[in-house]
Every structure is written in C-alpha cells, then in structure tokens.
Amino acid sequence: MQPSRKAPYQETLVPPVLESVKTKDSAKWETREEMDMADSKESTGSQEPLSPAARLLHAPRFNCTILAAIGCKTNINPGVIKMGLEQTLMKHPRFSKKLVIDDNKCGSKLKWESTAVNVEDHIIEPDLDPCMDSPDQFVEDYISNLSTIPLNLSKPLWEMHILNVKTLDAEAIAVFRIHHSLGDGASLISLLLACTRQTSDPDALPSIPARQRAGSHFSGGVWWLFFAIWTMLRLIWNTLVDLVLFLATMLYLEDTKTPLKGAYGVELKPKRFVHRTVSLDDIKLVKNAMNMTINDAIMGVTQAGLSRYLNRKYGDQSEIEDVENGKKNKIPKNIRLRASVLVNVRPTPGIQLFGAKASAAMARRVVSNTTLAFSNVVGPVEEISFYGHPVAYIAPSVYGSPHALTIHFQSYGSKMTIVLAVDPDVIPDPHELCDDLEKSLEIIKDGALVI
C-alpha cells in the first residue's frame, strides 16, 4: 500500500511557495534572499505611466471596480490567507504598486509607483456575530456597502474582506475588491484562480476547458476554402454592422426606457449584488440540443428571464398570475433592449487619439445608451480550494459603469453562478429577477428534452 500523499497546504494550511522567476539580471545574486532584497530596494519608488485603458478606467464617470465573492465550505483562517497572498498575489507587480499624481510642466499625470506592501493593510476582518439572525441578508448588505466606499489611493488598489459567517450556500465568504485598472475581469479572475489548487489533487492548478476552434471539422480541400471565404465575408459584414450601430448608439440610438434601465448618473449609485447557482449540465443540454454554444444558451436564458421580469412589471395586479404562466405578453411592441458585452480591455488607438477623458465620455455615452452589461467567464472544471479552503462558489461582478443592471455568468465545476449587480432604486427586487432567470432555464431545458 502506498502512503497517502499529504497536501502541501490543504491539510497543514501552509500555502505553497512561488519560486522567483530567473532573469538575466538575477544571475549576479548568490541567493534568492539577496535577489529579493535588491529587487525591493530598486523597485520601491520607481514609477511607470498608466496604460491608456487604465487611464480610461480612472475617469470620473467611468471609474470601475471589480468585486468577486468566493464562498468557502469551511471557516476561513485569516493567517493562512495572509501568508498565501504574500507568496502569490503580492508577487504580481500590479498588486504592489499604488496610484500617484505626477505634477510636471505638461500637467498632472497618473502613474503607478512601486511601494512596500503590508498585507495587513489589505485584509479586513470584521468582528461578526456567528449567531446573527439573517446572515445572508447581512452579507448582501455588507457587500453592497462596499460599492459606496472608494478604494484607498495611498496603497495598492486591492483589498480582501473575510466574512466568517455561515450562509445558505457557504460557511464563510472572502470578498475581493480590485480596481478595474489593474486588469480586465477575465485576467484578474484567472490570477485569483492561480492562487487555488484542485481539491482532488492539491498539487495541481485548476484546469480550464479548452475552446474548440470553429470550423475544425473541415479537414481541407475545396470545402475548407469555401468555409474560410464565407467566414471572412461574414466577419467583414458583421464588423461593418457593429461599427454602424456603435456610431449610431454614440450619437443618438438609445434603448427604450424600461423598468430595467437606469437614469443619468446611475454609475454613482450604490449597487446591490445577488447571485443564484444553477446547473451547468442543464445549460449544456440546451446547448447540445440546439447545436449552439454556451454563450448562445445563456444569452437565450437571459433574454427569456428579462422578458418574464418585464411582463410582470408591465402587467397590473389582476394579470400577474396569467403573465407568470406565460398566457399574456404585456411588453410594449418595438421595445429596444440591448446589452453591452464585457470583453477584455486593450489599449486602443482611439484612447491615444482623443485622450482618456474624451474616450471615457465617449465610452460612457455608448454604454449608458444600452440597458445592461453582460459577461460570461469560464471557470475551473473541477472543485478547487483557496489556500486550503474548499470553494463552494465564485461570484464576480463590477460596479462603476453606467448601468442599472449587470449580469455575470461564472462557471465552476458542474455549476453556473448567475451574479446580478443592480441599482436598487431601479430594480428593487433582484431576487425575483434571479427567479425569472432560473425558471427560464428550466422551461428551455424542458423544451430541449422533447426536441
């Protein structure tokens, strides 16, 4: 019988140590300690300008912050988390630099400045009553309150809140708050996942499902050439259509005012964050039955869920039961409801040409003329642990954008978490909207089973 393998930090709760990356300049140092000390002395105080995308995300009307809640199946040990962050996340350059204003002859410019980081300054551990009456409501209120408190600019723009309180779907919650200028959502979620390990194999990093290339079933020959030409023509046509719609949206094309659309200044309002976990297998069933992608399936679920919600909002009290049963459609005709699909932010010529303030105003106008923001992030295919704490769910979101509704889909194992960030003045019942999305998936799945 082989001896059981001991997890490096799951059983002993000691996080793994990251090896320093070797470079040409590191060869002159005898030991890792000497290299780290030299790097600390050389890097502290050094500055670098913000990228165009980072400047855009610091604009007053487009100041976005990412918020990710990680539910754990056990109580969180703060000491282990701090040790783990020191050895992993804080090794990343963006998490050890603070934002400074450089005043010179050309005016004030924002820059990143390297600084010594004390992990204690970034970990918040509120003293909580484990026997509180409504823990789920408390966690929801706590996370919502974070959207009203700006990040401290005197230190790197990230922090983590540890809430050791039992909720319906977790024993404890770790809440990350990271400014969007540090990176796009997909990159930051990937960075957080790099701090985790597979529960079944504590030495292994989480695995992400590989994306299948479109048209891979065409092995070659004339059909492959025809498919390639057709794909290129479709790409050119869709690009032209998107460009025209983008310009029209920037100039005048605004979505219809509905119970889902926020008013001017909604980006400054506090947000409420709720989530609902559904079966990823159900979504895959719909995907396979309809011969579509996961994105197509969840877009259909989102559209159906929003339709159910609007039907109920437009119907009067005497018609609510019929509307919920799908017997009446109370949504006005010719309604325009569009979503801004969140993608990775890259430096663009437009930001360089017009400047961050003008680009932010342009982006804000385009985004505010749509109704909601939508994102789908692929997560690990197996269960993972966060520094030895088994993870129950991952719920990322964002606030600071000019939308009253932001919908994130985050896959994790065999589950899909739907995360809503809403302006409670516009959508006072986000849990009902979660019910509508869940019910819509159930109806679509039942329909797919009979195909």
The catalytic residue among 122, 161, 180, 408 is 180
Instruction: For residue 380, count CB atoms less than 10 angstroms from its CB and return exposed for 0-12, middle for 13-18, buried for 19 or more.
Output: buried
Instruction: For residue 283, count CB atoms less than 10 angstroms from its CB and return exposed for 0-12, middle for 13-18, buried for 19 or more.
Output: buried
Compute CA distances 277 → 52, 167, 394, 423, 424, whole Å: 36, 14, 10, 21, 21
Q: How far apart are CA 46 and CA 156, in angstroms?
A: 14
Q: How many CB atoms lie within 10 A of CB 139?
A: 24
Q: Which of these, 355, 378, 223, 363, lies nearest to 293 by C-alpha position?
A: 378
Q: Which of these, 187, 189, 179, lies nearest to 152 by C-alpha position?
A: 179
* Residue 180 known to be catalytic: yes
Altogether, the residues listed in the chain come to a count of 451
Q: How far apart are CA 33 and CA 43, in angstroms?
A: 15
405 forms beta bridges with 422
Classify residue 326 as left (phi > 0), alpha (psi -120 to 50) or beta: left
**E strand map for 238-284:** 272-279
Q: Which of these, 435, 425, 259, lies nearest to 330 by C-alpha position?
A: 259
For every residue of 354-371, which 3-state class applies, written as one string? HCHHHHHHHHHHHHHCCC
406 forms beta bridges with 373, 421
96 forms beta bridges with none
Residues catalogued as catalytic: 180
